[in-house]
Amino acid sequence: MNVFLKQVFGNRGVLMISPYHYNGKFKKQYSYNRAVNEAEKIVGYPTSFLRLRWLLNDELVNVALHMRKLIGTNHPLLNTAKELILNKQTPAWGLIVLLISKAGGLSREFLHVECDITAGILHSQRNLAEITEMVRTSNIIHKSILNISSNDKDIDVLNFGNKLSLLTGDYLLSSSCKELAELKCHDVNELISTCLRDLVEADFIEPRDSQNRPIPSPPLKEHKEVVVSNQFDDEVLTISEVLGNAKAEWTLRHLLDGASLLAKCCQGTLILAGHPKSFQKLGYLFGRNMALGWQARADLSAFNPLRTTEPFSLICAPLMFHLQDNQEYYPKFLKMVEENDIDYRELRNVIRTGHGLEKTNKMLKELSETALKVLEEFPDNSSRDALVNIINSA
């Protein structure tokens, strides 16, 4: 691990971002880390190495060497690399897929060579967990691409960073497609293909800023509670019913941009185990609510008192709820975005004066409770208990 960090950031970078460096969040994350460690013992594999097994191969070590050229340019690929390597506040999605696999069990007898005897799951289910991590990571890396102007300082180095982001993301995505084909399961192949479609659709939802990052739509003057459908629902909302409705728009954007990946991979691992469609649906619903709940928690963490000036996502739930409740503030917000002059300290203070944080907390509680309710339909076993502990401790 330290070898890779040194290759990317040099000796100084290792000291600055060392995972052993104490900070104020350590105690808060202790119970969550402990729950994750216990869960990894249950599936028989430290899933933090799911990513490292392919992240530290020869191809990507060469990428790491080239990334050192970006130091000092503030290219987003550097921050992305730090987040991915250190797993900072990043849930182990592969772990969730493995736990769902073991919690659901096998619906029939499988050949001995197909099973991982020590973990009690199929080799194909473990491969799907790796695919989940690879697709998610490739999507995160692709988002590190900058829109560069000819007037930008260090334009050549920034363009180089964009090439690294594009090629690294493409390499991981192509590797995941190869692994997916080797599962030799048409239903799972088709299902995961729709995840890739969802990720692309998320990038075409307007409006966006100059860097093609999403921003909230103008709030609807009259809004009502609507529920964004999933693949099991017959009724589908129109885009006009969703955009401008804070909760629905937040759900749609984050569902397409990642939550559907975890949901469908949890569904897919139950397909591999031969479970009926009614049980597969439970996997989908759990993964969907788990991923959205994690996103809501990440949105709230941006308003930690220790974070005063750091940038945060402009489609975070607290901001979207605040704009819906205070529609007169939207023109001022839009002007700041258009002029690329956002004072994040001021924006945080404005949001704290409203009910955005309170509504996000309420939504987080609803998502967590729904995920726990879905788990009640699974057999009572240690894997189900581990998932409950992760939800309750996060």
Mean pLDDT of 285-297: 95
> Which pLDDT band, with edges at 50, 70 and 90, does 1 fall under?
very low
- CATH number for region 2-393: 1.10.600.10
- For residues 136 and 50, the answer to whether their CB atoms sit within 8 Å is no
For the chain, how big is the Rg over CA atoms in Å?
21
Q: Which pLDDT tens digit goes with each residue over 343-384? A: 999 999 999 999 999 999 999 999 999 999 999 999 999 999
Note the pLDDT of residue 262: 96
> Which pLDDT band, with edges at 50, 70 and 90, does 230 fall under?
confident
**Rounded-to-integer distance, Cα 73 and Cα 367, Å:** 39
- Residue 116 DSSP symbol: E
Note the pLDDT of residue 97: 94
**Rounded-to-integer distance, Cα 16 and Cα 59, Å:** 26
- For residues 389 and 35, the answer to whether their CB atoms sit within 8 Å is yes
Mean pLDDT of 261-272: 96
25, pLDDT greater than 60: no
Three-state secondary structure call for residue 166: helix
291, pLDDT greater than 50: yes
Say how many C-beta atoms besides its own lie within 10 A of residue 15's C-beta: 11
- For residues 181 and 254, the answer to whether their CB atoms sit within 8 Å is no
Note the pLDDT of residue 16: 35
> Which pLDDT band, with edges at 50, 70 and 90, does 5 fall under?
very low
Question: Among residues of the chain, what percentage have pLDDT more than 90?
Answer: 50
Note the pLDDT of residue 236: 73
**Rounded-to-integer distance, Cα 132 and Cα 117, Å:** 22
Question: Among residues of the chain, what percentage have pLDDT more than 70?
Answer: 80
Q: Which residue has the higher pLDDT, 30 or 43?
A: 43
Q: Where are the alpha helices (DSSP H) in the chain?
A: 2-17, 26-43, 48-55, 58-67, 76-86, 93-104, 123-142, 155-181, 186-202, 239-242, 246-254, 260-272, 277-301, 317-325, 330-338, 344-352, 356-375, 382-393
> Which pLDDT band, with edges at 50, 70 and 90, does 161 fall under?
confident
When mean pLDDT is compared across 3-7, 94-98, 236-240, 383-387, the lowest value belongs to 3-7
- For residues 73 and 161, the answer to whether their CB atoms sit within 8 Å is yes
- For residues 388 and 359, the answer to whether their CB atoms sit within 8 Å is no
**Rounded-to-integer distance, Cα 187 and Cα 191, Å:** 6
Mean pLDDT of 16-35: 54
Residue (of 172, 87, 168) closest to 131 by Cα position? 172
Mean pLDDT of 88-105: 84
Q: Which residue has the higher pLDDT, 36 or 178?
A: 178
In this prediction the pTM is: 0.85
* Domains in the chain: boundaries: 2-393
Amino acid symbol at 78: L
Q: Which residue has the higher pLDDT, 39 or 266?
A: 266
Note the pLDDT of residue 2: 44
Output the average pLDDT for the chain. 83
Note the pLDDT of residue 308: 76
Q: Which pLDDT tens digit goes with each residue over 276-288? A: 999 999 999 999 9
Mean pLDDT of 319-346: 93
Burial of 350 from C-beta contacts in 10 A (0-12 / 13-18 / 19+): middle
Note the pLDDT of residue 375: 97
Q: Which pLDDT tens digit goes with each residue over 200-227? A: 999 999 999 988 899 999 999 887 788 8
Q: Which residue has the higher pLDDT, 313 or 147?
A: 313
